[in-house]
Chain A
Amino acid sequence: MNFIIKWIDTFGSYLMLMKRVIGRPECWKMFGRQFLRDIFQLGVNSIPIVLIISFFIGAVICIQMKLNIESPWMPKIVVGYATREIMLLEFSSSIMCLILAGKVGSNITSEIGTMRVTQQIDALEIMGVNSANFLILPKISALVTFIPILVIFSIISGIGGSYAICYATQIMTPEDLTCGLQYCFIPWYIGCSIIKAIFFAFIIASVASFFGYRVEGGSIEVGKASTNAVVSCSVLILFADIVLTQLLMQ
C-alpha cells in the first residue's frame, strides 16, 4: 500500500514539475544557447557509441540468423530480412534508447542534481528565473530533436555492420543480403521507429531531469538519483514500447 502511495506521490510531483517545464522560455536567446549546448553534449557526443554498438549488433544479428536458421527449407533472403526487421523495429529505436537512457539519462540527472546540491538552482530561483523551464526544456527539446537522428544513424550503421560481416567472413553473399534487406520493405516502419524514438527521448529527458531536480543532500544522493533515473527510464521505455508497438503496428 505504501509503495502505491509513494508511486502516486512521485508521479504527481513529476506532473507538477512538467507543468513548470512546459511553457514559453523567458529568454529565447538563452534558450537557444542552452538548446545548442545540449544538442552537442547529449546528442552529438552520443554519435560514436550509437554507431559502434549498432555496427556490431548488426553484424552479430546477421551471423546469428545465418547460423541458427539456415536450412534447405529457408529462402536465402531470410537473413537479410530478419536483420532489417530487428534493427528497424526494435534495436535502433527501443534498445538504442535503453542504452542512451544509461548514458544520457545519468548525465542529465548528475548535472541537474549537482546544480541542486551546489545551490545553483536556488541562485536561478532567487534571480526570478523559472529554473525548471530554463534547465529542463532545452534538454527535452534537444533530445526529442536529436534522438530520432541517432535512430537513423543506428539503422544505417547496423545494416553497414551486416554487410561488413558478409564481406569479411563470406558467410553469405552481399547480394543475398541485399535481396533480404529489400524484401517486403514497408517504409512506415521507419516512421514507427522515429515516433517511438520521440516518445522515448521525452521519457529519458523528463524523467532524468525530474530525478536530478529533486535531489536533496550531497554527492551520494546525486549518485543514487542517477541510478534511480536510469532504472526508471529503462522500465518506462520498455513499458512505452509495448504500448506504442501495439498502437503503431496494429
Chain B
Amino acid sequence: MIQLEGISKNFGKQVVLNDINATFENGKTNLIIGQSGAGKTVLLKCIVGLLNPDKGKVLYDGRNILALNKKERLLLRREMGMLFQNAALFDSMSVFENVMFPLEMFSDMTYKEKEERALSCLERVNLLNARHKSPEELSGGMQKRAAIARAIALKPKYLFCDEPNSGLDPQTSLIIDELIHDITNELHITTIVNTHDMNSVMGIGDHIIFLSGGRLEWQGNKDNILDSDSKYLNDFLFSSDLLRKVKERESMKRTGVQ
C-alpha cells in the first residue's frame, strides 16, 4: 500500500502540487488522471522518488521514502517496477537482455534460474518469439510489453506506469491495460497508472484520483466516475465524444424508464 500525505511541490512561484492526500491499495489498479499540466507526472515522480516534494510524506507500507537514507532508498527501489511513457528499453541490449538486466544486477539466483524467470516474464507478455530482437525492431506496443516484462522480472511490490497507452492504437492500448490489470491481480501488487486515456479509466480504474491545477479534485472508481458532481472532472471526462454520447444515452434511458 502506498499513502500520500500532504504532498506539495512548487517550481519557483508556480504551485504544481497542492496538499495531495491519497491511498493506493494492494491488488488494485490505481489511476492518476487529469489534463495535461495538472501535475500527474510530477506527482508520479514524487511518488517514485525521482523528485522530492517540498512538503508531505510518501509512505510505502509505512516507510517514508523521503526519510530513508540513500542505501535504504536504493533497496526500496528494488521493490519497484516502472513502465515509462516511451518504454525506455536499453537500446544497446536485446529484449531478452533487457529483461535479464534487473535479475543480473540484483538477483542471487543461478544463471539458469534467471534465464527461466526472464523467459517466463517474456512469455507472460507474449513476447517469447521476439526475445532476440533489439528494441528498435519492435512496434510501440511490443516495446511497452517488453518494458512490462522487465518491470516485473524482480517480482516487484509496486508497479508504476507513466502514460502506458501514449502513441498506441485503441486495440493495443486495451491489450496493455488488460496486461497491467491482470499482473496487478496475479502478483497482488500496488499499481499506479498515470493516464488521460478514457478507455483505461473506464476499463481498469479500480481506484481513480483526478488532479486539476495541482489539487486533488476527486477520487473514486470507474463505477462512480460518471456520476461525479465535480465540474472540473465532468469537463475533463465529457470532452471525450464517446463518453458524452454514453452519458446522453444513459440519461435518455433513465428518462424513458421514468
Q: Which residues of A are at the interface with B, using a C-beta cutoff of 8 A?
A: 26-27, 29-30, 37, 118-120, 122-123, 125-130
Contacts and interface: CB of A to CB of B under 8 A. Distances in A.
B90 A120 contact: yes
B92 A37 contact: yes
Contacts, number: 53
Given A126-B50, A126-B80, A127-B77, A26 B86 contact: no
B104 interface: yes
14 contacts: A26-B105, A29-B104, A30-B105, A119-B86, A120-B91, A122-B50, A122-B82, A126-B48, A126-B80, A126-B81, A126-B160, A127-B105, A128-B74, A128-B76
B104 A27 contact: yes
Given A27-B104, A27-B105, A123 B88 contact: yes
A162 to B, nearest CB: 40
Contacts of A27: 104-106
Nearest to B92: A37
A127 B74 CA distance: 8
B170 to A, nearest CB: 24
Contacts of A122: 50, 82, 84, 88
A125 B76 CA distance: 11
B183 to A, nearest CB: 17
Interface string B72-98: 001111101110111011111000000
Interface string B85-121: 1101111100000000110111000000000000000
Contacts of B75: 128
Contacts of B101: 30, 127
Closest 7 CB pairs of A and B: A128-B77, A119-B88, A123-B88, A128-B78, A126-B82, A128-B74, A119-B84
A120 B105 contact: no
B86 A118 contact: yes
Contacts of B77: 125-128
Contacts of A120: 88-91
